[in-house]
Amino acid sequence: MKSSRFDAMVEIFSGEVLDYLKEHKDFADTETAMCREINAVLCRSIEVAFSRFDELLYESRADHLVSKGFVSRTMLSASGSLVLRRRRYFNKRTGTSLNLADVVLDIPASDKITPRAAELVCHRALDAAYQGAADLLENLSGAKISKTTVKEALAQAADVLKRRDSIHTFEGERVSETLYCEPDGCFIKLQQRHVPKARRKTKNKELSVIVLYEGKERSKAGALKRKNTHYIATADSFEKAWASTDRYIDKTYDTSAIKQSYLGSDGDAGCLSGVDILPGFVTVGYDVWHLYDKVRRLAKLAHAKEISGLLSRGQIEEAANCARHYSYLAQDETSRGDLVELADFISTNKKIIANGLKHNLGTIEGTNAHLIGSRLKNYGGAWSIAGADAMVTLRANHASGGQIPTVRSSAFPKPCKTSDEDMTETDSSSYRSMYKNTVEYYHQAKIAWENESCRIKKNMAQVY
């Protein structure tokens, strides 16, 4: 918008604010009232501009598109409720109907909220309950949405993200000589109220979590933190999680430059299957957290402290001998069996334990707590598999520095027709290119939309 138009709107609206302040003498009430007025003006401007943009499309329509009259749809935006009125057309070539304005502007056909509003509720729902996200949008726009609408917005955004990340490209340029990878599983509670008791075989679901980073560095406060961290989380099996990891590595890194990869795990077969995925020479280590947790569980408190001290100093064989020595002195059969199991474990896995201690592998439990536990393991909460998968997909993307993807109609293509001609005509991109010069007209339509919006806002400001 040109500065002169903006200044004129500011001048007019500031007069309204001044009159309200003189009348009420309360800044908080003035702020609330004026925000509502601005939102109402903005929503009405969008509705009028959308209608005029639809007129521009009608004037430049193709010959085989016949208008069938007007239809309206209601969408909830971050500023309020929008009623978008536009023409519906019949395509004589394909025998199908379409809303041309929705296709050209890439508006999903079945969405109840606008992309910006969906982005807001998704951001809120990553850290709060669905109802909290719905309340936030109601507070901003004044209109109510349900928890189900928030859940649908999350599912669509996660679907767009999954489709985008499913493309396997080899265009990575980031250079790093080392790569660290730590996988693990994290259990959450599944919803059971819709399942008959006789069929409730499992109450928990294991989520697959993988964290990648390039090493550790000191922060300004002196704390040790991971460098260039990326998270991958899914409700699918580890096989699919590793496939996503493989795509990310090829898309991000120059794999020929990676000489060494370190894989830290608790020894689970699904975690260790990443050896075939990671580039360079792969070193496997038993992560420190699971090692010390095993010591605490199998040895008594006094013994665990001594054995952990030996392990922390790198005296692995001595730690195994210490556990075996205390097993001879144990008074009961259970303690004796636990100490023998611990001694055998340390002796059998000396090499991978040494690797884990040397390279300080063992940050995955903190990842599980912050990435999964803080949102999906809240008291009394239970999840469907689809809901949990969407949530962890978006939380992993957000924790990695990514943005909530904007849901567009082109992100959900219709099934392809058998004929190439039909497929071309029904593809949404073809409708944007059915005019004299496809790309040129599409950009002209976009410019016309912006110009009409600015002109309408200016005229409304002048008569307000």
Spell out the SS3 assignment of 162-210.
HHHHCCCCCCCCECCCEEEEEEEEEEEEECCCCCCHHHCCCCEEEEEEE
SS (H, E, C) 326-394: HHHHCCCHHHHHHHHHHHHHHHHCHHHHHHHHHCCCCCHHHHHHHHHHHHHCCCCCCECHHHHHHHHHH
Residue 117: both structure tokens together: 């509003």
Structural contact between residues 51 and 86, judged by C-beta atoms closer than 8 angstroms: yes
Instruction: Tell me the residue type at 125.
Output: A
Distance CA 313, CA 90 (A): 77
| Residue 294 CB contacts under 8 Å (≥ 6 apart), including other chains | 342, 345
How far apart CA 121 and CA 136 sit, in angstroms, is 7
pLDDT value for 444: 53
User: Is 122 buried (19+), middle (13-18) or exposed (0-12) by CB count in 10 A?
Assistant: buried
| Predicted confidence pLDDT, tens digits, the chain (464 residues) | 567 888 888 888 888 888 888 887 788 888 888 888 888 888 999 999 999 999 999 998 888 999 999 999 999 998 889 999 999 999 999 899 999 999 888 888 778 888 889 999 999 999 999 999 999 888 888 888 899 999 999 999 999 999 999 999 998 999 999 999 999 999 998 887 666 666 666 678 899 999 999 998 888 888 888 999 999 999 999 999 999 999 999 999 999 999 999 999 888 888 998 998 999 999 999 999 999 999 999 988 778 999 999 999 999 999 999 999 999 888 888 889 999 999 999 999 999 999 999 988 888 988 999 999 999 988 778 898 999 999 999 999 999 999 988 877 666 555 444 333 343 334 444 444 443 343 444 455 555 555 554 444 333 333 32
Query: Cβ distance 322 to 302 under 8 Å?
Result: no
- How far apart are the two ends of the chain, measured CA to CA in Å? 19
Read off the pTM: 0.80
Cα dist from 215 to 331, 361, 365, 371, 398, whole Å: 45, 10, 17, 19, 20
Q: Indicate the domain borders of the chain.
A: 3-111+407-451, 171-287+361-399
What pLDDT is attached to residue 417? 42
55-82 tens-digit pLDDT: 999 998 888 999 999 999 999 998 889 9
With contact defined as beta carbons under 8 Å apart, do 104 and 432 qualify?
yes
**Angle of CA points 292, 350, 180, to nearest 5°:** 70
